[in-house]
Structure 1
Amino acid sequence: MRMKRMDTFAFGRFAAFAALAFLSTASTFAQAQQRARARELGVAPGIFAPGKLNAITDVADVRVGQVTLQEGDKVRTGVTAVLPHGGNLYRSRVPAALHVGNGFGKFAGSTQLNELGELETPVLLTCTLCVWKAADAMAAWMLEQPDMQQVRSINPVVGETNDGGLNDIRSRPVTAKAVRDALEGARGGPVEEGSVGAGTGTVAFGWKGGIGTSSRVLPASLGGWTVGVLVQTNFGGVLQVAGAPVGRELGRYSFQNAVASELPSSAPFASGLADDRGDGSVIVVIATDAPIGDRNLARVASRAMMGLGRTGSSASNGSGDYALAFSTAASVRRAFDAPRHTTTELANEEMSAVFQASVDAVEEAVYNSLFMATTVSGNGQTVEAIPLDRVREILEKYGIRAP
């Protein structure tokens, strides 16, 4: 009889926990249902059309895997994995390059990546203090893959942003299982955006940031190539959307207290708020099927800073701004043990359209990361999602027609 009472009590506790979990999940789902991508608000940067999914996975064979970690009331982080193709990346490497806009960050594997101009692992994104755990877990996973028994060196590539506001970052909560699940769960198709994966606990322009993605397809006359972008946003500045001063209109932007204190007394003043200096970080991953070598991929990666600048970033002192670009084209792949590489790649004169596509896709991916993010509470803080109803009003005000 006593055991029966204990079972009933335990079941009651389980049912209560399950109900709370359901309500939390339902609330998150309801929030997500109310969000919108940039194009749904009438924001479509540039002149080239997006791919079918308007995502990095529009580049054939590129795969994305994400694991979101929300544990208790403190852990709000995750892992996002980008795989250039579905084969053995160590044996069939892709040319790649990393551009550092501002180097206040940790980007594991960057020196070898730029020295050799190639990727031999997937790209992982996570939180700052979990970089090395993620790198170790991916190295172990890679070494277990077929035809890797004799490998004695591996260069895991891992980028990060600091989500220590919403996330108990000092507990270093990313586990080897989370990394493996992200890698093994990587797929083509639609990419989840907003407060997911490595973007679970990030903040951008004072609002909830996260994962965003976009793509562009060049006209056949320009090669017909696809450029796809994925971003992890955790940076600041003075937000503008398609030129509209959204940050100023919403009263949330870098240095607003310093500026407001010098305005007439009748002007609004955000007293009591910390004067945000635009610090944080952003990671940009650019994929393309255009046959481009590592030298020109470095030029592509550098254009990411132009896309970030359009959104209002000034790459502040405390921001780690990194952009990695790679090509999936078969003609520029590099077999690990080949005595020589014979490749066919685009000439310099053919790069301009790829540059344009990259800048536009980076800009839109940042907007998508903001507009799709949901309000998140964790580690004793709450960061609100940017209010899309107000964004729509501001876009209308400045002549950008939002439906």
Structure 2
Amino acid sequence: MLKAVILIGGPQKGTRFRPLSFEVPKPLFPVAGVPMLQHHIEACAKVPNMKEILLIGFYQPNEELTRFLLNAQQEFKISIRYLQEYAALGTGGGIYHFRDQIVSGGPEAFFVLNADVCSAFPLKEMLSFQKEHGEPNSFVILGTTANRKQSMNYGCIVENEQTNEVLHYVEKPSTFVSDIINCGIYLFNPDIFQHIGTVFQKNQQDMLLDYFSCREEPTNGWHRAEAIRLEQDIFTALAGQGKLYVYKTLSFWSQIKSAGSAIYASRLYLNQYHTTHPERLASNMEGGPKISGNVYIHPTANIDPTAMLGPNVSIGTGVTIGAGVRVRESIILHGANLQDHCCVLNSIVGWDSTIGKWARVEGTPSDPNPNDPYAKIDSETLFRDGKLTPSITILGCNVTIPSEVIILNSIVLPHKDLNRSFKNQIIL
């Protein structure tokens, strides 16, 4: 019996995902036509003997999240529950807080997945790897390779090349350590809670020392002891003890930290649909728009047959696209209206937004090789130090772009009615 835990974070996180996270919790943002979380749940549901999927985070339960969970349970025929943290407890603190729920029923092992990653999710391969490498009680990190500069934005893994044991782990080092990086997807067994519990007890002791030395009550109370990070607090200590192993995937992987990186993730998933969901990919049909490359179109969208879409385009529910419109490398969200002959390139068009006739909405992402759908891109470079070059253009919900203007490399917050062109700006 297996379980899976998906760490979905909460509203204090995901600030780099604004303005899109204003309208929908980041884990429910549509990537390649379906909510980001659905890709995780679908992968978990395909694993044999998977009995339950637990979502852990500190979002308030709302109608949108509840409806998504009910629909996912019905579609994938598996128990899916949301466990709400009382505060942000970190990647280790959250699973430790709900350890009784995770181990109930006696799972042999459980996966832990960060919600803000895009991956082929080689979960079955990780299970096989665990049986072939290391002890039955070992823990497995999914890893991939990055270049020297990119690697320092992630957790870096030094492995024994013969056994794949993790010898050294450093989270976001200041100098180069290794080109093998942590993908934020793990395979644990219940023994992990002993290691997390050791850190929890040490945190409690440190709090008591602080209390008696300062004669003041710690401001964060028990929260401080329970806030535990798998990466810095657990993996760093486990490395070199013969208990932690890395399975390196050759398939695609990316983080979805910033709103801009959602377009890159959409491209990766759209390319995967050829093997997993060919029915989600649009094709050229008589009386339909011109399709180039991988394109997802929701059945409720209304698209003029003279429009040209693709490659790597996702069209949401109720979208209207007029005559002669060109869309490439973009996500068009629910209810958007792209009027005749406008052009949308490397952009996200928010819910119910309107782009006027002959207008141009364009971004210039940092992309190593646009012809290679699996070429690795560092999502951290898409939005750095508040500067938007290179970047993509993002329109929040209910934004109106007038006819015959150009919006280039800019972020437009919701409910804006623009009256001129903008370049390299955040429009508040």
Q: Which has the higher helix share?
A: 1
Q: Compute the TM-score of the two structures, normalised by the length of structure 1.
A: 0.25
What TM-score, normalized by structure 2, do the two folds share? Answer: 0.24
**Larger RCO, structures 1/2 (Cα 8 Å, 6+ apart):** 1
Structure in which a larger fraction of residues adopt strand: 2
